[in-house]
Amino acid sequence: MQRKYMFILMIILSLAISACGKDKEKNIFYETGKVESPVKDVPKDILATQQAFTNLVKVVTPSVVNISTISKKKAVQPFLEISPFFGDLFEEPATRPHYRKESSLGSGFIINRDGYIITNDHVVRDAESIQVKLSNETIYDAKIVGSDPKSDIAVIKINAKEPLPVAVLGDSDKLQVGQWAIAIGNPFGLDRTVTVGVVSATGRSNMGIETYENFIQTDASINPGNSGGPLLNVNGEVIGINTAIVAAGQGIGFAIPVNMAKQIVEQLVKKGSVTRAWLGVAIQPVTEEIASSFGLKKAKGALISDVMSGSPAEKGGLKQGDILIAFDGKEVKDARQLQLAVAETPIGKPVVAEIYREGKTLKVNLQLASGESSEAKKPRPAKAATSTWLGIDVDELPRSKAKSGLTGVLVTAVDPESSAAATGIQKGDIVISVNQRKITTLADYENAMIAADKQGSVALLIRRGSTSIYFALKLR
């Protein structure tokens, strides 16, 4: 009887424990929506910002495409490569070129319903085949309409059987540092990745990425595969084309301003290539030493080291030694900005330029020619460099050089321990002018240097081969 009671008690205890276990299990796994959020009062502006981003992505993402290419690259053939059984001895020579297939990924965005797509030139360069995948997973073959390596912009085209979503191009000239920036692309093959940041800077140049640089810098994450994709503002307008990153840094990406791209894309669609305006001058930066030597209060503008015969610059009255400080109503901050301003000017457009010449500010009227003109295609002087000078010996020009029409004095020796040697002045250079005073004899040179010594600084115009170079220095 006692055993019977013990058995009943054990059953009751087991049922109680089982019930407790079920209650415990019920407390751990909650039903969705039955538990309150940890933060109840999220600020309305944060919710509005979040909603703005999600709305933007829904509307714009369909116009962003993924681009995959296959290209044929020349491979280096191993030295003395021989196939089994000496087969190469009876076939083509062992030096024949070998090629390998390479695939790459990039991004782009549709700009009209006919299927034109903007991307980077480096995304499709040398491509044998191009495929474009839309947001609905449809894949089309594409062809290159035109490309411009100097700006790294290309236009490709697909023939779609469906209505295409189109990206809206904004106005990159209105950008301000600190504004939101949203990048959409295909980094590492991850379809339509969205990253958010701000416009970190505008007008970035001298990056050594392209010939014509005016980049938007952003900290919105850009990675390999983002190239060619859009950089957007909060209105969903394209403000730039994602192009490059600083590999050693984080949060440093660059995009081509959409306003710069508009002119290029228009030409690429019409004729497949880009023709830029041409001024016909060799220019170099204005350093503090050059500014002081020329009597300019501030180092700014672009120094003209040479004017090409028959060029718009020569016809407009520009001279060697002029400092171009304004072009078409805009201040010229440096030589790179002038190069970009000229390239973006419509061919044949009358332009007023402001120059600094011999202590005076003057205005000249210019009309830029095409970079494809016969004058523009003539051999040009190489890019000039800037430096300082000290410790050089000069002599009269040899008769052979004087007969060719050159004037000046010949550099016969350069002290290897001098700053002149360290900065590039070489034996064989010809000093054409000193502080813009033309030199024809040794006496001219000595008198000009005496005057320069009193001033404390000097600017030498040197002729080296077909190139004219200014060297500025302090004498004390």
Q: What is the 3-state secondary structure (H, E, C) of 323-370?
A: EEEEECCEECCCHHHHHHHHHHCCCCCEEEEEEEECCEEEEEEEECEE
Rounded distance, CA 441 to CA 395, Å?
A: 9
Closest residue by Cα to residue 167 from 109, 104, 128, 240: 109
Residue 43 Cα distances to 40, 53, 54, 196, 425, angstroms? 10, 16, 17, 20, 65
Rounded distance, CA 162 to CA 158, Å?
A: 11
Which residues, in sequence order, are bridge partners of residue 474?
Answer: 457
433 is catalytic: no
**Counting beta carbons within 10 angstroms of the beta carbon of residue 181, is it exposed (0 to 12), middle (13 to 18) or buried (19 or more)?**
buried
152 is catalytic: yes
What are the b/e assignments for 418-457, b being 16+ CB within 10 Å?
A: eebbeebbeeebbbbbbbbeebeeeebbeebbeebeeeeb
- Which residue among 152, 306, 322, 444 is the active-site one? 152
Rounded distance, CA 444 to CA 474, Å?
A: 20
Residue 222 Cα distances to 25, 95, 244, angstroms? 46, 41, 8
For strand 168-169 and strand 237-245, is the pairing parallel, antiparallel, or unpaired? parallel
98 is catalytic: no
- Which residue among 68, 107, 151, 227 is the active-site one? 227
- Which residue among 122, 387, 444, 468 is the active-site one? 122
Supply the DSSP symbol for 163: P
Please list the active-site residues: 122, 152, 227
